[in-house]
Amino acid sequence: MAGSIHEGPEFGVGDFVLLHDLTLDAFMENLKLRYSKNKIYTYIGEVVVSVNPYKTVNIYDQTYVDEYKGREIYERPPHIFAVADSAYKTMKRQSRDTCIVISGESGAGKTEASKIIMRYIAAVTNVGGQKEVESQNEIERVKDVLVKSNVILEAFGNAKTNRNDNSSRFGKYMDINFDFKGDPIGGHINNYLLEKSRVVHQQTGERNFHSFYQLLYGAKDEKLKEYKLVRDPGKYFYVNQGGDPKGSPDKCATVHDRDDYRSVMNALKVMGFSFAHAEALWKIVAAILHLGNMDYVAADDHDHAGVSDDKLLGNIAELLSVTKENLRKALCSRVIAAGGQVVEKQLTVSDAVYARDAFAKAMYDRMFTWIVGKTNEAIDPKASGIAYVGKNTVIGVLDIYGFEIFDNNSFEQLCINYCNEKLQQLFIELVLKQEQEEYQREGIQWQHIDYFNNKIIVDLIEAQHKGVLAILDEACLSVGKVTDEMFLTAMAQKLAKHEHFTCRSLNPSDKTLEHARDFRIKHYAGQVTYQVPGFIDKNRDSLFQDFKRLLFNSEEDILQLMWPEGAQNITETTKRPITAGTNFKNSIIALVDNLATKEPHYVRCIKPNEIKSASAFNDERVRHQVSYLGLMENVRVRRAGFAFRISYVRFLQRYKCTTPHTWPTFAGTDIDGCKRILQVLGHEGDVKYGKSKVFIRSPQTLFSIEETRSQKIPTIVLFLQKMWRGGNARRRAKKMRAIYLIMNRFKKYKIREYIKNLVDKFRNVKKMRDYGKSVEWPRPPSRLQGLVQLLQKVHGRWRANMILKDVPKPEWPMLRLKVLAAAAIGGRRSDWGSRRKWEGNYLAMAGTESKDNSNTADFVTKMNSLKSHDQFSKVLFSCHVKKFNKNNKPADRAIVITDKLIYKLDPKKKYKAMKKGIPISMVTGVSLTPGSDQLVIIHLSDENDLVLCLQNLTREERVGEVLGTLCSHCHRMGREIKVTINKPVHCMLGSKRRTVIVRPTAVNGGATFKKEGNDIALMWPES
């Protein structure tokens, strides 16, 4: 369809109806090309052809669900989601029941396709939720149960075959019920012809049903011990006939029995199976495993059977909750009621083996049927708790076995191929019916289409009295010994003139058929040779009544439910049971009748190769499948009249860009617009106009219209891009202008508000004691950051001027030193001389001012000499001190701090300099104590600190003055010094770390230093 056309020419044609040459070779070439390009889906009209990719493909996530949800089937590239959505839309919009028929041979991907469809339906329903939480939760539960049911049915109904690691060995039809809103409210599952012969026999390389291996590999050791099992399938006859079930790692690479066992247990819980019921199911599986190991021996000369292993018999009886003796009787004898008398007949060894296998097959078949019934109870819409409102509609999903042709074809293959004949007949009839109905609906004249009608083959198998199944039933009902050869002879007599049936007696020259064994039916998909041995037994499907009574009388309630006919009395006369063939025929006829009432959708699955390779494409195998699936017939039917049809609205919407008369808008009706387009493009002679659709006869016309559209699209895209970009740019520019205008106005408003706030805050700061220091500045707008910083500096200067206006200007330098000292001390020392006047150069004070130095002239003379020698500018501080040196000796000295150097002078030698001055740049820090002592340690970078105690006759506090002097000078030099106030303090003398401790002493003698071990003690007189 239209959506499939534009995947690109490199991907081939997305719809086989649009092939240029309608031949099988062209069909195969297109299918192979698409498969090589990882395009696994192709349409035939509204039928999806799916090729198994044999690898994980990332095309099923939520993104793809959203792409196909609510879209017409031709709007997107081919995908199975399109068919699922089409079925769902038809059901929801038209309130019509729909169905999706999935067909193909084993390994073609039918089961996976059905699961994908289920997941899609679950993903698109109840998305918006319900008003009632309980109703919403119930819908989600139903969806979960519908999905989880696949897990259980696959475990007990699927097996590994030589063609498929997860082959469905039963047919399944699931009805999903929806309410009037389109939400799932329940469902129902029908199962068809479980391959129960697999329970007792498997071909080489194949496995029994998954459930046996899941139990052996997945159950815990304690559980296996309880069931008397060991974790080795090779020990059990019923599961080891195909070879080592695990084998090499690639033997069954896609099956993970241990994980699958846990998944099944979880699914059983979700489905509402009680723990006791789950346990009972696994006990039946375990009993069947043990039953396969049951051997018989001849108990007497008449070859009467006896059980060889009494312990094994007891294990089976325990698992089935029956008595050991009753089980022995059922396995070794049978009770026959005749003429009102009851006779017990002993079985021969061969009859006992046959009865044992029949017993195992019947138990598994009844268990599977019970599981399906229990699943139906869990998803029954009447029991879901969701109230019925409006009409209830259904989507049916049919996942059933495909046509089978093996080397040895028996009764099961005849039933399976009969089923496919019925479905093919229905398929062709419904496709033709759909085509006819659409032509009539649109007022287009219908043309007769030649196609192969396989009704003749269907009648060959199902016809009353003269069909294969009727002849088989007649043979089974005959009195006396009836053999499979007699059945073959009867068919040869009654079907001798049928053109689709033959056998060796009817065609002696055909040596491919063996006498008394083979017959051949010419199916629509090809000729199949069947072997008659086993037909009679399989059709009778007989099981001794003894087994039914045995299991009905079991203490396990599930077994009682599975075998209700065991309640009949031994002497009670019963009708002859319906044969397996007739039962299957009736169920298939009912299925076909059910499907015929629904709007059908189809998924045709194809297996590309036999080696399960993601790259191999076996032309011969695929060609065979294309033939028996009737795909070419489908293409011919679809293409016989008109290859493509589309509504006027969508045609005009898609192709109006191809002519200037309809682009960008058309004023007339949709049909007039379509006619105008086709007239301008020159295709009016190859189309027909219906009531709501235009019908295009040849694919070439559609390709031509598409090509014209493709040539116009780039120009339209450029035009749209230009207009969109221009409009978008204008809208953006308009928004930006508005944004800048608003921002500018807002900034001005913020500035005005900030200034008004600032004025209010600082209106009365002149009257405040701290002149506004305590006033918190509001956070300024970013645009006023610089201005506010300037205002803060202005305010600081104004505040300083207000404080200093009452202070004489000559005292400002002293005030500066005090401020710096106060900042450095930070309240860590209570008294540091802040209240007195700081003189600085105390040793140079003459006359009455001198309180420290009586030899002022000697000091001044010496300092003038040093000044001229060392070129310093000014003496900042001078004072007598008690100094402690690295030799542990105290001495009286004078300390002088200039703007360049620090001097140590000897007052006893007319203030002779002790050494060269210490550059003031070597000062790294000052240490003080928090007490009233005059200890000052000036830390030097050469690790030989000055340890001083300031001395003066009046005992003035001068520590703060020394600290302020050093801080002020270093601040002018652009660096800070570290100030430590602690008790005790530390210093470096001669590169050795020393601790200085202040100790109080008597007033007499003055302050002095003493050595105390490695420490230094300042003996400070208490006042």
Number of helices followed by number of strands (H, E) in the chain: 30, 32
Q: 161, 143, 174, 76: which is closest to 591 by C-alpha?
A: 174
3-state secondary structure string, 557-626?
A: HHHHHHCHHHHCCCCCCCCCCCCHHHHHHHHHHHHHHHHHCCEEEEEEEECCCCCCCCCCCCHHHHHHHH
Cβ–Cβ under 8 Å, residues 198 and 368: no
* Angular region, 96: left φ>0, alpha ψ -120 to 50, beta rest: beta
**DSSP strands (E only) in 265-354:** 296-298, 305-307, 333-338, 341-346
> Exposure of 60 by Cβ count < 10 A (0-12 exposed, 13-18 middle, 19+ buried)?
middle
Secondary structure class of 643 (helix, strand, coil)? coil
> Exposure of 70 by Cβ count < 10 A (0-12 exposed, 13-18 middle, 19+ buried)?
exposed
496 secondary structure, DSSP code: T
Which pair of structure tokens corresponds to residue 861? 């003379």
From residue 1018, alpha-carbon distances to 431, 890, 894, 935 in Å are 118, 10, 18, 8
Q: What does DSSP say about strands 47-51 and 599-606: parallel, antiparallel, or unpaired?
A: parallel
Phi and psi at residue 814, to the nearest 5°: -65, -40
For the annotated catalytic residues, the residue numbers are: 106-107, 111, 164, 167-168, 402, 404
Cβ–Cβ under 8 Å, residues 564 and 344: no
d(CA 50, CA 41): 5
Which pair of structure tokens corresponds to residue 325? 């003796």
Q: What does DSSP say about strands 1008-1012 and 992-1001: parallel, antiparallel, or unpaired?
A: unpaired
Cβ–Cβ under 8 Å, residues 281 and 367: yes
Q: 1012, 997, 1008, 1019: which is closest to 882 by C-alpha?
A: 1008
Q: 7, 1, 54, 5: which is closest to 618 by C-alpha?
A: 54
Cβ–Cβ under 8 Å, residues 556 and 321: yes
Instruction: Tell me the sheet residues that pair with 348.
Output: 304
Q: What angle do CA 719, 725, 726 make, to 5 degrees?
A: 90
d(CA 824, CA 967): 8
Which pair of structure tokens corresponds to residue 43? 């349409």
d(CA 878, CA 698): 119
Residue 796 CB contacts under 8 Å (≥ 6 apart), including other chains: none
Element (H, E) at 716: helix 699-761
d(CA 637, CA 643): 10
Radius of gyration of the chain, Cα coordinates, nearest whole angstrom:
53
Instruction: Tell me the sheet residues that pair with 669.
Output: none
Which pair of structure tokens corresponds to residue 120? 């899609």
Going 981 to 985 to 990 to 991, the CA torsion angle's sign is negative
d(CA 483, CA 412): 18
What count of other Cβ atoms lies within 10 Å of the Cβ of residue 642? 24
> Exposure of 419 by Cβ count < 10 A (0-12 exposed, 13-18 middle, 19+ buried)?
buried
d(CA 584, CA 365): 14
Residues for the chain: how many in total? 1023
